[in-house]
Amino acid sequence: MNKEIFSIKPYTSIYFNAFLAKKIGFEYGDELEFNFTKEGCFFRINNNQLKGVKVHQASTSGFTIENRNVHKELSKKFMYDVNVVEHEDGWFKITE
């Protein structure tokens, strides 16, 4: 499967498949910074912060993020598979 998948699961987990992770450039152990604004939901790789969201290896070929606060904010707007587009300055935007 060569499709980029970013999926917000109903049970507080967010899943990236390996294809999307490679395109974005993150891997196991990286930390992501999320920013929720009126314009949308954004994230970027930022390993130099105190409250980063840790990327974990999924049991399938991909990665998960398990953070209750991030999941709560994302699930208000999105559920299941969504798109991720490159925004600016290393930020990625989550869209439908």
DSSP string, 53-74: EE-EE-SSSEEEE--HHHHHHH
Q: What is the pLDDT of residues 52-79, one digit of tens each?
A: 888 888 877 889 988 999 999 999 998 8
More confident residue, 67 or 1: 67
Phi-psi region of 39 (alpha: psi -120 to 50; beta: other; left: phi over 0): alpha
Question: How far are the Cα atoms of 22, 38, 40, 49 from residue 84, in angstroms, in the given order?
Answer: 13, 17, 11, 22
pLDDT range class, residue 2, cuts 50, 70, 90: low
> 39, 1, 24: which is closest to 84 by C-alpha?
24
Q: What is the pLDDT of residues 14-60, one digit of tens each?
A: 998 888 888 888 888 889 999 999 999 999 999 887 778 888 888 77
pTM of the prediction?
0.86
